[in-house]
Structure 1
């Protein structure tokens, strides 16, 4: 999970850099194309058996939300500093708790509900709506985080039936198929060598990061590895400063610190709840 977050931050940096010259739909399409190239390699090595799934509906759903989440995020970072956008994505664990309670009917105690409320209030500290502190596109990041939370829940459900390669395969096929629909209307041929190099690098690195995250969710419970998601802020802040000269302001750091603390608390409560023996 830590390795996946490190690589995803590099992918996001390359994507933001490319938004100055290419349409976000095209960037996301190339990002997901890396998974398709990996799928071609996997098919040549493992054969069509990796396409056998016990849950085709969930696989299609995961591919769709993966495409939607990536698209919204890249649209947002074309306007919002990278570290600020990443800090807002930290609401995803709270959304997992919220969805688990409302959709899956998982029990959630008062302490975890309090942590969820505090986490969302901290997000408002970062965005500060109405003040003009951050571009309104930051709200697209919240939608992206919601889809990321859905993807996490689906990944947990798939871990018990399908292996990592199968999930990567369907995520690649579904996301690229959906993103290919608007592509002809926004396509621009890359004219510079650096554009081509960044597109190839982004595609390959995204494929690797996606595989690492899925494998992490296979090997351990989400509540164990999910806190490592917060390390992406370290790398995104570094890349944002190094490449774009952006640094989060004080209130963004305050909001991010509150979200991180409450997020880790929420995940720890989920871990403790999972350890409790069933009532008899």
Structure 2
């Protein structure tokens, strides 16, 4: 899980770098190629049985949500410092808690509702709406987090219906298909070998990272692994400084600290609930 998130930090950094040359939709499409290639290899080995599903509509919806969240993130990261962008997306676990209560009728106690509220306040400290501190594209990151949370809710439902490999296959195929249509209008051919190398790096690392995280979730419970997600802030800050010369201000660190503490408390409560 930790190695998977480290690789994703490199993917995000590469994507931000490529936004100077390519349209965000093209970058997201290229990012999906690594996972799609892995799925095609699995299909060659296992045949069409890989696509047998009890919930085709939900599988396709999950793939669309994956494409939408990734697209919004890369659109936003072209204007927002990498560490700030990563910190804002940490509200996704809180959104999963809220959506789980609303859509799946999961029981959420007062303490967890309090942690969710505090976590959202941490996000507001980072964004500081109306103060002109961050680019308005920061709002897209909140929407990206919402789509990511909806994707996680879909994963919870699909977990009892289909094997993980089937969900991965549908996500890769659906997201690639949805993103292929806009390619007719935004495609730009890479002009040199460096661009090709960065695109190859983006696709390969994204596919490997996704596979590692899926494998980690097969080996251990999500509530045990989820805190490792917060290592993204360390890597986002490091790459943001090394590659783009950007460092978060003190308010971003304060907001991120509030989100992380609230998130860890929420995960602690989920773990206790599972033990009962």
The question of whether the paired residues in 2 share the 8 Å contact of 1:119 and 1:262 is answered with yes
Residue 216 of structure 2 is matched in structure 1 by 216
Residue 27 of structure 1 is matched in structure 2 by 27
1:132 aligns with 2:132: yes
Deviates most, 251-260 or 177-186: 177-186
Residue 173 of structure 2 is matched in structure 1 by 173
Residue 118 of structure 2 is matched in structure 1 by 118
TM-score of the aligned structures, taking structure 2 as reference length: 0.96
SS in 2 for 1:162: coil
Aligned counterparts, 1:18-167, within 5 A: 18-167=18-167
Cα deviation code 1:117-153 (max 9, x no counterpart): 1110110100111111111101100111111111222
Q: How far apart, CA to CA, are the structure 2 residues paired with 1:39 and 1:274?
A: 32
Runs of 4+ in 1 over 3 A off after TM superposition: none
- State the shift of 1:158 in Å: 2.5
Q: How far apart, CA to CA, are the structure 2 residues paired with 1:218 and 1:123?
A: 30
SS in 2 for 1:182: helix
- State the shift of 1:157 in Å: 2.7
Gaps of 5+ in 2: none
Q: How far apart, CA to CA, are the structure 2 residues paired with 1:194 and 1:181?
A: 26
- State the shift of 1:39 in Å: 1.7
The question of whether the paired residues in 2 share the 8 Å contact of 1:159 and 1:218 is answered with no
SS in 1 for 2:248: coil
Q: How far apart, CA to CA, are the structure 1 residues paired with 2:152 and 2:203?
A: 21
Q: How far apart, CA to CA, are the structure 1 residues paired with 2:89 and 2:53?
A: 30
- Give the length in aligned residue pairs: 276
Gaps of 5+ in 1: none
RMSD (Å) for aligned C-alpha atoms: 1.3
